[in-house]
Amino acid sequence: MALLCIRIAMILVLFLAFSENYGFLRGVTSLGINYGQVGNNLPQPEKVLDLLSSLKLTKARIYDTNPQILTAFANSNVELIVTVENQMLAVLMDPQQAFQWVSTHIKPYFPATRITGIAVGNEVFTDSDTTLLTYLVPAIVSIHGALAQLGLDSYIHVSTPNSLAVLTESYPPSAGSFKTEVSGIMSQYLQFLSSTKAPFWINAYPYFAYKDKPDEVPLDYVLFNPNSGMIDPHTKLHYDNMLYAQVDAVIFAIARMGFDGIEVGVSETGWPSKGDADEVGAMVDNAAAYNKNILGRQFKSEGTPLRPNMRLEIYLFALFNEDMKPGPTSERNYGLFQPDCTMVYNVGISALSSPSSTSSASISLTSSATKVKT
């Protein structure tokens, strides 16, 4: 499998070098990909780095601080966001423990490995274990304090990814507001982000909105396909896709808490290429359309209607299909690639015969899919 990965990577390098002559892959600095590892047949990190380099992807997020990955990615141009697992939050509230954690899991690898962010937990505000929420901000503050002690705080931001379920209202976007039960801790968290200039990360999955109400949610609207869209009755802003509307709803929710100017980024988004019988819309064609269209927007460095001049940073989920993920079939089928580095689906790679078609081909190589929550 390792040899196959290398051969595929070499082919992609040659293809993308051809594509780059036409400018299709230049300047895409706001796109990243989630590199999950819940599988028993995934390639070694060195081969994953080869693949990312072939795809010209320079941003990735991992769900731990796997030393093999941090070592393999040293002296590369790939920026990494690493993750503190939820079960560690209680321990890392203690500043001394946080200092020890940063000294062990971050400092030995930096700056050779370009760690740019630490995600403290994942979707803690909506976790079923509500005690985690009381640990979150103290752990964030302690980790940031440890970075500051080591002189790393200006290089590495500290934040946490949030499920869209943290909102009590998201439609229309101007009605965006956080659930009242988390407002106290949310205010503390937003104060931290505001003072450190760190981004608010959201895991946003339009797929779930469509799956739950396929008769009410227009498919083209969630796939970024041409459609009439919707107009927010209060702001008169026009939205031609759900993801941007979801992001702007979060921006409005933050503003309602008295904060302005905090960057909102998408830490996960995508579409499954396969699902169970009741997972409406989970299919290859939709996954290809969603990811191709997102890539097209990213090449333009687009912002949302509310912040058109601020490029929206998006991390696609995920690089690989992960065979050990629990849950419905879709959970194991969000990857752009199979573990042997073959593509799960093709959204244009065969169209190499003319420069006019190279754009869609190059987009297919950097597109990906993810799990979605609303």
Positions marked active-site: 123, 268
Cα–Cα distance for residue pair 346/288, rounded to 1 Å: 7
Q: First CA to last CA across the chain, in angstroms? A: 37
* Residue closest to 247 by CA, chosen among 190, 315, 318, 170: 170
Show the CA angle centred on residue 311, arms to residues 161 and 211, nearest 5°: 55
Cα–Cα distance for residue pair 321/323, rounded to 1 Å: 6
